[in-house]
Amino acid sequence: LLRVGGNSGLAGKVDRFGGVTVDLAEVGLPADISEDAFSRLLRDSLSQWKAEGRMAVWLRVPMPLSRCAAAASSHGFTFHHARGEHAMLALWLGESESRLPGFATHQVGVAGAVVDESSGKVLVVQDKNKTKNAWKFPGGLSDPGENIGECHISREEN
């Protein structure tokens, strides 16, 4: 557990996208923590993360603490995936529509080369929040079930 300004909060790891990941097996919660106590702790943590400008929260919930998933759902968390002995819950904190990825089965990326034939120049872009000095052709990931041709056109327009 982490104390911030006299308030209790959950300790997590900040990722390169501005999100925070909390593994409940590693934060030192009492084994018998009640749903109400966890809900209050999570509420305080969410307030802190919002104040810090975090974009998302990933909450890894081990089976022995599965009662915490119900408390998390009352704060807007949803199941992202479950694997073995844990469930991963997610909450988008941003003002815009959620940009959290679905659970991966596979990803299809598309990109387009834009060439100015008169000058020989090629359009390249940099992703926000990613490695600096890493250039690429404009593109993105297709949505599940999206036609690859339509995806290429829509990503190129963006």
pLDDT at position 153 is 63
CATH of the domain at 137: 3.90.79.10
104 assigned to some structural domain: no
- What pLDDT digit, counting tens, does each position of 62-83 carry? 999 999 999 999 999 999 999 9
**Exposed, middle or buried: residue 126 (CB in 10 Å: 0-12, 13-18, 19+)?**
exposed
Q: Summarize the confidence of residues 118-144 as an average pLDDT.
A: 82
**Which strand (E) or helix (H) includes residue 2?**
strand 2-4
Within 8 A by CB and 6+ apart from 147, the residues are none
pLDDT for res 46 = 96
Q: Is residue 101 part of a domain?
A: no
User: Is the model more confident about 150 or about 52?
Assistant: 52
The whole domain housing 72 covers 2-92
Judgement on whether residues 39 and 80 belong to the same structural domain of the protein: yes
Do residues 27 and 62 touch, judged by C-beta distance below 8 A? no
Domain co-membership, 21 together with 87:
yes
The pTM of this model reads: 0.66
Asked whether residue 29 is assigned to any structural domain, the reply reads yes
**pLDDT tens track for 15-35:** 988 899 999 999 989 989 999
Number of domains in the chain: 2
Quick check: is 61 in a domain? yes
- What's the pLDDT score for residue 141? 77
Pair (83, 28) in one structural domain: yes
Query: Which element (helix H / strand E) includes 13?
Result: strand 13-14
State the average pLDDT for the chain: 85
CATH of the domain at 87: 3.40.630.30
